[in-house]
Amino acid sequence: MGNSTSGNLLDVNNIEVVYNDIIQVLRGVSLSVTEGKIVALLGTNGAGKTTTLRAISGLLKPENGLIRDGHISFKNTDITNKLGTHVVKLGAVMVPEGRRVFKHLTVDENIRVGSITRKDGSKNIRSDHDRMYEYFPRLKEIKHRLAGYCSGGEQQMIAIGRALMADPEMLMLDEPSLGLAPLLVREIFDNIRLINREMDTTILVVEQNAKIALEISDYAYIMESGKIVLEGSSNELQDNPDVKEFYMGITQGGGRKSFKEVKSYKRRKRWM
């Protein structure tokens, strides 16, 4: 199966992931990413989105996780349970959740270290390095500051820049909007779209903020408790009433329901 040619950049086929040999997090997840597109993976907390990303990028091991069933292929190469290094070398890089920059390294070093797996000469690396500063001009100003002292938005840019330095064909982003102010979220997502267009990088983005994710993506999957429950082109999903209600907080009337009302409704339920 591993070498079947599907035309997709990434194929995830019915994978099951187990942590510590007992806790099953993914129960048969399948998805595929077509080259050059932005694909969004949406879902609530604990649905298994992050685990899916980690399974793809070979980062389950540190958390004691294992793909027990199913397989993943990237560029028609089987990468099931392969180590992170291997996957990065093949061209799929993940930006982990929660802006995990190297706090004690400077911004410049953070970006530079992203090129660790590259073998295509220091010239290319240097030109890519400069290009990162073009994408994120803000980072150039704070080049020599320790990344740990940068703001959340800056850290997210560093993390993305760092991942791009590996010259990936596919970039995976894990909740880039987490804990960021609305204005920044927009900026980050604009950047993502830009990267997709200018660098021809395929993007797989995991998000909770369904609204903005559906806005920029071409195709989307929705996960719930370890399974894909819905998929479709982003435009379709945007109009899906269920998606609207459960993931975007928009009632059927089109308006937003007030949290206070929810409160009194639920309290009534509580007393009943």
Site of interaction with other proteins (CB under 8 A): 44-46, 57-59, 62, 83-85, 87-89, 93-96, 100-105, 109-110, 112-117, 146, 148-149, 151-154, 159, 162-163, 165-166, 175, 178-184, 186, 208, 246-247, 249, 256, 258-260, 262-263, 266-267
Q: Centre a 10 Å sphere on the Cβ of residue 207 and count the other Cβ atoms it contains.
A: 26
Tell me the two tokens of residue 206. 């995991």
Q: Find the shortest distance in angstroms from Cβ 70 to other proteins.
A: 22
Q: Find the shortest distance in angstroms from Cβ 28 to other proteins.
A: 21
* Smaller CB separation from other proteins, 34 or 133: 133
DSSP SS3 for 119? coil
Residue 171 contacts residue 195 (beta carbons within 8 Å): yes
* Smaller CB separation from other proteins, 70 or 114: 114
Residue 96 contacts residue 66 (beta carbons within 8 Å): no
Tell me the two tokens of residue 248. 């975007």
Q: Centre a 10 Å sphere on the Cβ of residue 150 and count the other Cβ atoms it contains.
A: 21
Query: From CA 209, how far away is CA 35, in angstroms rounded?
Result: 24
Q: Find the shortest distance in angstroms from Cβ 227 to other proteins.
A: 16
* Smaller CB separation from other proteins, 10 or 165: 165
- What kind and span of H or E run contains 190? helix 182-198
Q: Find the shortest distance in angstroms from Cβ 254 to other proteins.
A: 15
Q: Find the shortest distance in angstroms from Cβ 4 to other proteins.
A: 26
* Smaller CB separation from other proteins, 62 or 254: 62
Q: Find the shortest distance in angstroms from Cβ 92 to other proteins.
A: 10
Q: Exposed/middle/buried for 37, CB within 10 Å: 0-12, 13-18, 19+?
A: middle
* Smaller CB separation from other proteins, 6 or 245: 245
Going by C-alpha positions, the residue among 88, 271, 223 that lies closest to residue 167 is 88
* Smaller CB separation from other proteins, 7 or 261: 261
